Structure formats: C-alpha cells, structure tokens
C-alpha cells in the first residue's frame, strides 16, 4: 500500500548526494582528492576550542551566532547586521534561495558550476534554474548571463573561483556585469574558495558588496579553514536579506561549530600559511600535468580541472585503482583536489602512466 510520499522533485537531491567519486565511498580511498577538503588536521587552538565547547553540549548554542558574527564583522570590517551564518555554505545558499525565490521564479547560474544551485532551486524551492553555459575556457559568460535576465530573475549565482573549472571572475568584468543587472536581482558571489585566489585582477566579494546594494557574498569554513566536518558557512548580504537569513535558520550552527569558527578566525595567520602551501602545490601539479600533455587550466582554487571529456571516467578509474578518489563529471572532466604533498605525488605518478591518446 502506498504510504506518504515526498515530492518527486526531491529525487534529484538524492542523486546529487550520491555523486562522489563515481559512487565509491570515501573510506575506500587512501588519498582523498575528491571533495576539495583541506588535507591538514585541525589547528591545535581550534581543537582546544571545540573540545571545550563539547563539555557544554547539554546547552543550546547561541541562537543567531552573535559572537561568531561579531568576529566575522570585525575581520571583514563590515557591520554585523550584514552577516548570517548557517550549516555550511550550502545551508546558507539554500536559505538565500528560499528567502528570495518563490515557485516559478528564475535562479540563474553558470554551467558547469556547483551542482547545488539548480538542485536546491528546483527540488527544494520549486524555482526555475536557468543554466548559462561557461565559455570554452571554463569562465562565466557574463555577457550571455546579462542577456538572460528576465522580469522573473530573482537571484544570479556567480561561483568564483568556479567549481569545477577553477576560474575566477575578474574585477572589471564583474563591475560591467553588475551595471547591467537590475537592482532588485540579488547577485550572489559564491566564494567558497576565495582564500586560494592568487590572481590580483580577480574580484573580491568583500570589496564589491560594499559598493553594490544587490550583491551578497557566501563563504565557508569548510575549505581553507579546514572545518568541513563541522558545517559552518556565512553570508554577507544586504541588511534586509541578512536579517531574513538569520530568522530562517535559528540554531543553525552547533555550539562546537561556533567556537571552532571563532578560534579559526583568531588563527587566520596559521590558516593562511597552510593556504600558501596548497597554492604552491597547485602550481607544482599544474606544471607537472601540463608537461605530461594534460589539458589543465590554471586554477584559482584548491583543485584542478582536467577536461578529459569522454576519457574522464577511464582516468578516474585508473586513479581509483591506485587508491585515489577524484571527482568525475561524466563526459566532461575530472576534478582533482590539491592535497598533501604525498597524495599529490602519488596522483602525479599515477597520471604520468595514463596514456593520453586512446590505445
């Protein structure tokens, strides 16, 4: 007998969640280069703060993350009224779409880009995702995106650096784009990988959102700060939007998460030293792969994009047999996280044995 059934659209979320490393569970790999995680253990001060918070787990956390928001506001030199924190940046992205888009409204994003935008827009919010293809070199096609804006467009996501292609939106190009977007459309800069950007001409959301009243920035503690397991992200948004986000997800960040994030901000210098190591490894891997003839673009994030097209699954299979988990986007490419040096060496040695011409 058929029981209560969730909405059928929700199937696409299950498909997204199952998408890591061609369905092989992470535990089966010795080298985890599939999820753009930070390869380093938590910093000692962060672990101490988390452990201390664990002693008070019988108490609710701060309902609206006031101390974390105060620390973020101080770090970013923006008023606390512009901040909201949530369960990972994906939780913040979900709240943003729910806050802005009613069923039938349009949510624009580039493609390929972070899969969560269309999935959340459609399956959770009943909104209409509008996917605008990237340029051939994996960049946002901002001209094409500006042309696709309609009266129903409520949100535009720009993922910079873009997952999976690693390209960042330029400062000047973004300024021109924003001048063409109507004021009532919220442009969300998803800067999950912002700390890894080395291109001096890349746009910086924290600067842009001071000058443009319709820009929001989403950032995370999952990547550079290495707290993916704790689920903490935040938005810097126009005040009315930030206030809506804060009321929509009360108690959205755990007690341990809030304390670990505050301790991480206090340790930003140490965090950035680790970021520098990852960026140096990124350059080393790019050079080595390019020398082997791989089609590898210069990345601004903590991952590399190999557009291997129809050979993507084959390459991911070779990596899997060598104990390396990578992210395969079938028919399109393979995304490889820049990990610790040992994992990167093993990946490069494995890639060096992959015949680029089909044998």
Phi, then psi, of 45 in degrees rounded to 5: -65, -35
Q: Closest distance between ligand PMP and the C-beta of residue 104, in Å?
A: 25
Q: What is the dihedral of CA 49, 191, 205, 61, to 10 degrees?
A: -30
> In terms of CB distance, is 225 or 288 closer to ligand PMP?
225
* Sole window of 47-55, 83-91, 207-215, 292-300 interacting with ligand PMP (rule: CB under 6 A): 83-91
Closest by CA to 352, choosing from 309, 315, 297, is 315
Q: Closest distance between ligand PMP and the C-beta of residue 217, in Å?
A: 12
Return the residues of window 138-167 that contact ligand PMP according to CB under 6 A: 159, 163
The CA distance from 155 to 132, in Å, is 13
Does residue 13 touch ligand PMP according to CB under 6 A? no
> In terms of CB distance, is 220 or 343 closer to ligand PMP?
220
Does residue 254 touch ligand PMP according to CB under 6 A? no
Q: Other CB atoms closer than 10 Å to residue 71's CB: what's the count? A: 20
Return the residues of window 187-206 that contact ligand PMP according to CB under 6 A: 190, 192
Return the residues of window 171-190 that contact ligand PMP according to CB under 6 A: 190
> In terms of CB distance, is 232 or 288 closer to ligand PMP?
232
In total, the chain counts a number of residues equal to 359
Does residue 90 touch ligand PMP according to CB under 6 A? yes
Which three-class secondary structure state does DSSP give residue 18? coil
The CA distance from 106 to 155, in Å, is 7
- Residue from 21, 89, 98, 299 touching ligand PMP (CB under 6 A): that is 89
Closest by CA to 328, choosing from 214, 204, 184, 164, is 164
On whether the CB atoms of residues 33 and 278 are closer than 8 A, the answer is no
Does residue 224 touch ligand PMP according to CB under 6 A? no
Q: Which two tokens stand for residue 227?
A: 């707290």
Looking at the DSSP bridge assignments, the partners of residue 131 are 109
Does residue 129 touch ligand PMP according to CB under 6 A? no
Q: Which residue is nearest to ligand PMP (CB)?
A: 88
Does residue 225 touch ligand PMP according to CB under 6 A? no
Looking at the DSSP bridge assignments, the partners of residue 324 are 31
* Sole window of 84-92, 146-154, 200-208, 281-289 interacting with ligand PMP (rule: CB under 6 A): 84-92
The CA distance from 107 to 100, in Å, is 9
The CA distance from 229 to 276, in Å, is 22
> In terms of CB distance, is 61 or 233 closer to ligand PMP?
233
Return the residues of window 258-297 that contact ligand PMP according to CB under 6 A: none
Does residue 307 touch ligand PMP according to CB under 6 A? no
- Residue from 39, 42, 88, 252 touching ligand PMP (CB under 6 A): that is 88
Q: Which two tokens stand for residue 224?
A: 């550079």
Binding site for ligand PMP (CB under 6 A): 36, 88-90, 114, 159, 163, 190, 192, 220, 222, 228, 233
């Amino acid at each position: 007998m058929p029981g209560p059934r969730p909405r059928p659209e929700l199937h696409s979320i299950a498909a997204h969640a199952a998408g890591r490393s061609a369905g092989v569970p992470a535990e089966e790999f010795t080298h985890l280069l599939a999820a753009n995680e930070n390869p380093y253990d938590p910093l000692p001060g962060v672990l101490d703060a988390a452990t201390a918070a664990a002693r008070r787990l019988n108490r609710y956390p701060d309902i609206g993350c006031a101390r974390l928001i105060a620390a973020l506001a101080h770090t970013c030199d923006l008023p606390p009224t512009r901040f909201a924190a949530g369960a990972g940046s994906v939780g913040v992205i979900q709240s943003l779409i729910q806050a802005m888009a009613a069923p039938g409204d349009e949510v624009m994003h580039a493609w390929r880009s972070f899969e969560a935008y269309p999935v959340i827009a459609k399956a959770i919010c009943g909104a209409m995702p509008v996917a605008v293809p990237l340029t051939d070199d994996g960049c946002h096609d901002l001209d094409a995106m500006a042309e696709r804006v309609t009266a129903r467009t409520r949100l535009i996501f720009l993922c910079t650096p873009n997952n999976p292609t690693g390209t960042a939106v330029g400062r000047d190009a973004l300024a021109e784009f924003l001048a063409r977007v109507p004021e009532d459309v919220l442009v969300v800069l998803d800067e999950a990988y912002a700390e890894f950007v080395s291109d001096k001409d890349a746009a910086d959301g924290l600067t842009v959102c001071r000058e443009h009243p319709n820009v929001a920035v989403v950032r995370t503690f999952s990547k550079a700060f290495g707290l993916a397991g704790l689920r903490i992200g935040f938005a810097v948004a126009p005040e009315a939007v930030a206030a809506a986000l804060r009321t929509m997800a009360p108690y959205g960040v755990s007690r341990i998460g809030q304390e670990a994030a505050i301790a991480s901000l206090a340790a930003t210098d140490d965090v950035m030293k680790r970021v520098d190591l990852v960026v140096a490894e990124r350059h080393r891997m790019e050079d080595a792969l390019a020398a082997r003839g791989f089609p590898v673009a210069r990345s601004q994030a903590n991952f590399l994009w190999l557009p291997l097209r129809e050979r993507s699954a084959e390459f991911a299979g070779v990596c899997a047999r060598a104990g390396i988990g990578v992210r395969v986007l079938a028919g399109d490419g393979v995304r490889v996280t820049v990990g610790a040096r040992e994992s990167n060496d093993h990946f490069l040695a494995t890639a060096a044995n992959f015949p680029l011409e089909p044998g």
